[in-house]
A and B are shown apart, each in its own frame.
Chain A
Amino acid sequence: MGIMPFIPKILDPVPGGKTIVNMVDYVVNWARANSLWPLTYGTSCCAIEMMSSSMARYDIARFGSEVFRDSPRQADLFIIAGTITKRMAPAVQMLWEQIPGPKYSIAMGACTISGGPFRYDNYAVVRGAEQVIPVDVFIPGCPPRPEALFHGLLKLREKIMKESSRNPWKEGALSESEERNRYKEAAAAWAELEKIKDEEMAIAREQFKSNPPENYVPYKAIRVQKETFPDIPLKENLQVGKSTESLFEIAKKYSPEIQIHTENNEILHLSVSKEQYFSLVESLKKDSEMNLDYLIDVTAVDYENHFELVAQLMSITLGHKVFIHVDLLKENVPEETKDNALLASVSSLVPLYPAAEFKEREVFEMFGIHFESHPDLRHLFLDEDFKGFPLRKDFKHPHIIPKPV
């Protein structure tokens, strides 16, 4: 076919006549647009769809982007697949800076547009990739299908093909404010148009009513049969391991004051004081009939005046579960320091269950409960300098925007 059909596209009139430079531009752009090498980067759900798009069924190689590079220095396309958290944002920025220009980025998924499902009431998620790095193409979806990713890729190609020596590639700007004022203007203009349309529609409706056309039959809604569902009681689960009564009898041997926290015939919920917590768990673990050798989880709940620590234990050989609830009264501290102060303290289960190490670290950072003799009590999910304890009920964070109702 030759190059002839493309000539009019390549040669656009410029002052001083048509030049060969445009031709070079075209070739350069063509080369750039058809072999975009993406960086292997994905944080969450969207990354799996990005992976699918490079596998057998969808085959991103058709678009020249199958060469996923593990090093940013060899890539020129950054597909931001997945949520960007505040902890991840510096890494994203660093990766972008390490990619040599000309470089392009595609923001894949609702999370990278606006924070997606995590936009409101959330302290950890960056609301949109554009606040961290410049973005060329946004792809909506949660997650977008692989086809949508390809559509984005094609759009990016179009954009690249428009570059020229007079309109060279340059790094885009970040969104100016966190709440994206520039979209508000567009939204206001849109609302204005909508209002005009509504008014016009109202007039038209009035006219229609006062002067209906002949043989007009008013529309009658058909009532869709509402599905009815039966009321079914819950099937009780099969009892596993020992019955809760006999378990309670065993537990009573070790500390007579313990009480049942909640009546339940599947799981034994025990209520125990802070002082007896460790020794009770220790003796229940050693007891051959109880044999609580597996720690499912340690978690906590924040109430007004106390925390409730819940240690979920199980016997992996016998199958029964015992949940131990400990009420930890909040210490009195001055009101100003309350938000950043550890308010309670309890002994750690790490000497009995190594599994408790990470889980207690989570409780520590989320609630501000101190664990005595924990070997490594640092923040786990949050930054070291994070202020406050997110899962407390009175937690406030400047990043949170409440969901409008």
Chain B
Amino acid sequence: MSTNVLLPGFREAPLDEDFEEFYINMGPQHPSTHGALRLVLRLDGEKIIEVVPHLGYIHRGMEKQAEKLNYIQYIMMSDRQDYLTAIQNNLGVCLALEKGTKIGVPERAEYIRVILAELSRIASHLVFYACFGGDLGGQTVLLYGFKEREMIHDIFEEVTGSRLTTNFFRPGGSNKDIPDTFVPRVKALLKHLESALSDYDRLLTKNIAAMDRSVGVGVLSKEDAIAYGCSGPVLRASGVSYDVRKNDPYSIYASLDFKVPVFYNGDCYDRYLIRFEEMYESIKIIKQCIDKIPSGPYRSKEKPIFKLPNGSFYAATETAKGLYGTYVVSTGGNSPYRIHTRSPSFGNLAALNTMAKGQRLSDLVTILATIDPVIPEIDR
């Protein structure tokens, strides 16, 4: 392709005539784009000059459709945004609805919420671990990561009735109470998880091949991370300590003792390490909660017709991917006038070009894996 023609979206000035510059299309069906993401790359040999994401291949028009659904039905939509952390998305939507209606949550429900949300964080990070290993070429890692995740999903299935799309929380608590077997099962899982995680740590963390491909690759500076609106592990791996659970606490996170891991290099390796640390912190949180689940009601009083008063309401939660915000505008009806999701992967993906610039083509796969995007959440 002529060096002087820039495809839409590309901005860097054309290189000198003697550079071999060309474009490559990646996706929307590509094994390492984690679903329906399409990237157009501008390359100089193996080196990436610029990346332009083309989104919308899984744009399902959720926000428009939500205007026809009522509020409780919308909770189901949030499952299908980031299906790896469906339960945390449920929580995010419910918090926003509770702000609007001033419905409170009984103590027992708060504990249920926190335990399930943290379990889901571990499950999501395990998928990250698996895919990261898989994208680096380690098929074994891919198989292992999914093993413990299945155990977590067994618990979800017992509690919510579904493995993936949980649709469990409601404004004022949860849909159902937890079964009696919940506490012993979670305890058994935690015991198993700790030994499993240390095995996985040994398998990949100090693996020379994994380190070679991730240390110093895809560096994102602190300033860029903030400017591009990154959140979650991507932001914290660049040295910014912001976690909604700590800095803007919701539910009972303020009363729990946990650390927010922060790393300072901002490369792929740090983004990998931080998720590992977060899994240990999540285990710590669940341990604090599991013995203290109080008895009592699991939800507060239901309204026959759920309506929000006039106005706009906003709530943020920290999902495994980052800051998940729900902005609801109501005109008093029983379906939202406008509901908008601020999805964490969207912000994180915006920094892709900055991370990938100057890296080699094969590194892009590593970078994408450590951003850990879920495309339906971006496209909505």
* Complex partner residue of A353 from B57, B227, B342, CB under 8 angstroms: B227
CB distance from B266 to the nearest CB of A (A): 15
Segment with Cβ contacts to B, from A79-87, A132-140, A184-192, A194-202: A79-87
A44 to B106, CA, bound (A): 34
Residues on B with beta carbons closer than 8 Å to the beta carbon of A51: 146
Q: Known: A237-B249, A296-B229. Is A232-B65 also a contact (CB below 8 A)?
A: no
| Residues 42-64 of A at the B interface (beta carbon under 8 Å) | 42-45, 47-49, 51-52, 55-57
Residue of B nearest to A269 (CB): B312
Residues on B with beta carbons closer than 8 Å to the beta carbon of A55: 130, 142-143, 146-147, 150
CB distance from B95 to the nearest CB of A (A): 9
Where the two chains meet, the residues of A that have a C-beta atom closer than 8 Å to any C-beta of B are 39-45, 47-49, 51-52, 55-57, 70, 82-83, 85, 87-88, 91, 95, 117-118, 120-125, 142-143, 145, 228-235, 237-238, 240, 262, 267, 269, 293-297, 299, 301-302, 310, 312, 316, 319, 321, 323, 353-355, 357-359, 366, 375-376, 378-383, 390-391, 395, 402-403
A312 to B316, CA, bound (A): 12
A359 to B147, CA, bound (A): 37
* Complex partner residue of A118 from B55, B65, B99, B105, CB under 8 angstroms: B65
* Complex partner residue of B64 from A122, A296, A378, CB under 8 angstroms: A122
| CB <8 Å contact, A44 and B58 | yes
| CB <8 Å contact, B150 and A52 | yes
Residue of A nearest to B99 (CB): A234
Residue of A nearest to B311 (CB): A262
Residue of A nearest to B62 (CB): A118
A296 to B84, CA, bound (A): 22
A366 to B379, CA, bound (A): 12
Query: Interface size (B, Cβ < 8 Å)?
Result: 83
Q: How many A-B residue pairs have CB under 8 A?
A: 215
Residues on B with beta carbons closer than 8 Å to the beta carbon of A383: 56
* Complex partner residue of B68 from A70, A121, A297, CB under 8 angstroms: A121
- What are 29 inter-chain pairs, A to B, with CB distance below 8 A? A40-B29, A40-B31, A43-B58, A43-B375, A48-B84, A48-B127, A49-B164, A52-B150, A52-B153, A55-B130, A87-B59, A88-B58, A120-B68, A123-B64, A143-B163, A229-B301, A230-B106, A233-B102, A234-B99, A238-B254, A294-B229, A296-B316, A296-B325, A355-B347, A355-B350, A381-B379, A382-B59, A390-B61, A402-B68
| CB <8 Å contact, A232 and B104 | yes
Where the two chains meet, the residues of B that have a C-beta atom closer than 8 Å to any C-beta of A are 8-9, 11, 28-31, 35-36, 55-65, 68, 76-77, 79-80, 83-84, 98-99, 102-106, 127, 130, 142-144, 146-147, 149-150, 153, 163-165, 172-173, 226-229, 240, 242, 247-250, 254, 297, 299-302, 311-312, 314, 316, 323, 325, 327, 329, 337-338, 340, 342, 346-347, 350, 375-376, 379
| CB <8 Å contact, A229 and B300 | yes
| CB <8 Å contact, A143 and B60 | no
Residue of A nearest to B80 (CB): A45
A228 to B340, CA, bound (A): 33
| CB <8 Å contact, A121 and B65 | yes
A355 to B83, CA, bound (A): 24
Most chain A CB within a 10 A radius of its CB, from B28, B59, B127: B59
Residues on A with beta carbons closer than 8 Å to the beta carbon of B316: 296
Most chain A CB within a 10 A radius of its CB, from B98, B130, B340: B340
CB distance from A338 to the nearest CB of B (A): 18
Residues on B with beta carbons closer than 8 Å to the beta carbon of A295: 229
Residues on B with beta carbons closer than 8 Å to the beta carbon of A379: 56
| CB <8 Å contact, B146 and A56 | yes
Residues on B with beta carbons closer than 8 Å to the beta carbon of A391: 63-64, 338
| CB <8 Å contact, A44 and B314 | no
* Complex partner residue of B340 from A47, A82, A117, A299, CB under 8 angstroms: A299
Residue of B nearest to A58 (CB): B150
A269 to B313, CA, bound (A): 11
A251 to B238, CA, bound (A): 30
* Complex partner residue of B247 from A49, A83, A240, CB under 8 angstroms: A240
Q: Known: A296-B342, A358-B350, A381-B379. Is A323-B250 also a contact (CB below 8 A)?
A: no
A118 to B68, CA, bound (A): 12
Residues on B with beta carbons closer than 8 Å to the beta carbon of A262: 311-312
A380 to B9, CA, bound (A): 11
Q: Nearest 10 pairs between A and B by C-beta?
A: A355-B229, A381-B56, A232-B104, A55-B146, A124-B61, A381-B59, A45-B83, A232-B300, A297-B342, A121-B68
| CB <8 Å contact, B104 and A233 | yes
| CB <8 Å contact, B327 and A117 | no
A238 to B338, CA, bound (A): 27
10 new A-B contacts, CB < 8 A, other than A42-B35, A43-B36, A70-B30, are A45-B376, A48-B164, A85-B57, A91-B29, A230-B297, A230-B300, A231-B301, A262-B312, A296-B342, A299-B327
A70 to B134, CA, bound (A): 13
Residue of B nearest to A390 (CB): B64
A299 to B338, CA, bound (A): 10
Residues on A with beta carbons closer than 8 Å to the beta carbon of B130: 55
Q: Known: A232-B105, A296-B323, A358-B346. Is A47-B164 also a contact (CB below 8 A)?
A: no
A316 to B99, CA, bound (A): 22
| CB <8 Å contact, A57 and B57 | no
| CB <8 Å contact, A301 and B337 | yes
Residues on B with beta carbons closer than 8 Å to the beta carbon of A85: 56-60
Residues on B with beta carbons closer than 8 Å to the beta carbon of A294: 226, 229
| CB <8 Å contact, A83 and B347 | no
| CB <8 Å contact, B65 and A83 | no
Most chain B CB within a 10 A radius of its CB, from A262, A381, A383: A381
Residues on A with beta carbons closer than 8 Å to the beta carbon of B106: 230, 232
| CB <8 Å contact, B56 and A382 | yes
Residues on A with beta carbons closer than 8 Å to the beta carbon of B150: 52, 55-57
| CB <8 Å contact, A145 and B64 | no
Residue of A nearest to B230 (CB): A355
| CB <8 Å contact, A316 and B226 | yes
Most chain A CB within a 10 A radius of its CB, from B29, B31, B79, B338: B29
| CB <8 Å contact, B80 and A319 | no
| CB <8 Å contact, B248 and A319 | yes
A381 to B38, CA, bound (A): 11
CB distance from A357 to the nearest CB of B (A): 7
A105 to B122, CA, bound (A): 34
* Complex partner residue of A234 from B57, B60, B104, CB under 8 angstroms: B104
| CB <8 Å contact, A143 and B164 | yes
CB distance from A210 to the nearest CB of B (A): 40
Residue of A nearest to B242 (CB): A316
A149 to B39, CA, bound (A): 30
A52 to B163, CA, bound (A): 11
Residue of B nearest to A403 (CB): B68
CB distance from B163 to the nearest CB of A (A): 7
